[in-house]
Amino acid sequence: MQRIEGEASQEVKNSHEAVDNSSAVSRTRVANQAQDNVQPFGASRYSDFLSNVSNFKIIESTLREGEQFANAFFDTETKIRIAKALDNFGVDCIELTSPAASEQSRKDCEAICKLGLRCKVITHIRCHMDDARIAVETGVDGVDVVMGTSKFLREYSHGKDMTYITKAAVEVISFVKSKGIEIRFSTEDSFRSDLVDLLSIYQVVDKVGVNRVGIADTVGVANPRQVYDLVRTLRGVVGCDIECHFHNDTGCAIANAYTALEAGATHIDTSVLGIGERNGIPSLGGFIARMYAANREYVMSKYNLKALRDVEDLVADAVQVQIPFNNPVTGYCAFTHKAGIHAKAILAEPKTYEIITPEDFGMNRYVHIGSRLTGWNAVKSRSKQLGLELTDDQVKAATNRIKVMADIKDQTMEDVDAVLHVFHRAIKNGQDVGHDSTFNRLFQQHIEARGTDAIAEEEAEAQAAK
């Protein structure tokens, strides 16, 4: 009897615990829904307690990593323009080519340090005392030191063992710190280095007082799972900040950068349009787009998003490349909607098919309605923009006509407008525009009249110019 009562008591206890747990889950769901209402673009709210997704810094390396891009040659004037544009965007640091690389590199470094930028100006050097002495004399706010630790680089690059690397790192760090300058030490080719070697040297430099340690996926071999594991492990070993540098050889650079922040990294290296050695590193715009989707308010409060297009245009022109059609945010297809079902939803509520609000970046969405995929809701919206009064049935008839024409080739917005004007005028005049012969005749008349008007306008402009 006592055993049965005990079991019943335990069942009641378990029942109460289940109710409590259910209530807790419900409260969590309500809280998450409330947060989602505030941030409709937000990522999952179940984030790692070490996550810095909402508290990160950008080290913008266009003027260092970007100089290694195949097409890049930045003269002093161009470097200054890029530095000012990045500062206007609001990056936390700009990283410059080592002043030990060449005499002009040293002069450029000094010139940029004298601009009085709001962001920090840092430079990237080898783990060598000669480089360090030159760097600290340029006026930089910080020095980024790097040395290869993988077996490939130790054997085929500098030929030094871990004992030498550790000793050299301590010497350079101590010297730079004695000058009152910020210092970071990074291993190169970190993901092909021995984990014990990595953690050992990071612990040593952390104790010496380095401001940041760096992880570099120099060959782009890492995947997000490997990144999370390494950064999370390192976060438990050092107390300083953690910077991450990812190459995009296998297309994981931005995903790896985001994952690194989730695991506790504090700084991410980027470059404008992702330019750099080989396939480059996380693009500034792509990385910002990813972080915007995670925490729109934080990103908008910290960075001048409407300046992104200007800095990308500046760098694209400097290295003689076109901004890719699918470039995050600024690519010409980024906010273009073509499918009819998409267009209908976008016109009713942009969030249905846009995770990024184009207006936040000074961009505009474009609903492409000159294709065979177009829907009548999009055509109706355009007719209203033109001030044409058409019923839904009339808009549907015009849409079908556009689709017929688009089966031959995509129609421009001017072509679509012509169809709508023809339909509106014909209906107003009581003409049956549903017949092919009638439509074709009226459409041809409209095109000819439009051409005559265009010629008249050109002649008037020429006459006015005289």
Distance CA 100, CA 133 (A): 9
CA 426 to chain CA centroid, Å, is: 48
- The two three-digit tokens of residue 427, written as one number: 């209906």
Single out the residue of 382, 381, 416 nearest to residue 400, CA to CA: 416
- Please say whether the beta carbons of 131 and 100 come within 8 A: yes
Task: List residues bridging with 215 in a β-sheet.
Answer: 244
Catalytic residue among 342, 368, 421, 424: 342
To the query of whether residue 342 is one of the catalytic residues in this protein, the response is yes
Distance CA 463, CA 228 (A): 68
Helix, strand and coil content of the chain, in percent to the nearest 5, comes to 55, 10, 35
**Residue type at 208 in one-letter notation:** V
Q: Name the H helices within 75-184.
A: 76-89, 103-113, 129-136, 151-156, 162-178
Alpha carbon dihedral 175, 179, 184, 189, in 10-degree steps, equals -40
Length of the chain: 466
Distance CA 458, CA 462 (A): 6
> From the CB of residue 441, how many other CB atoms can be counted at a distance below 10 Å?
15
- The two three-digit tokens of residue 136, written as one number: 């600290």
Q: Report the catalytic residues.
A: 342
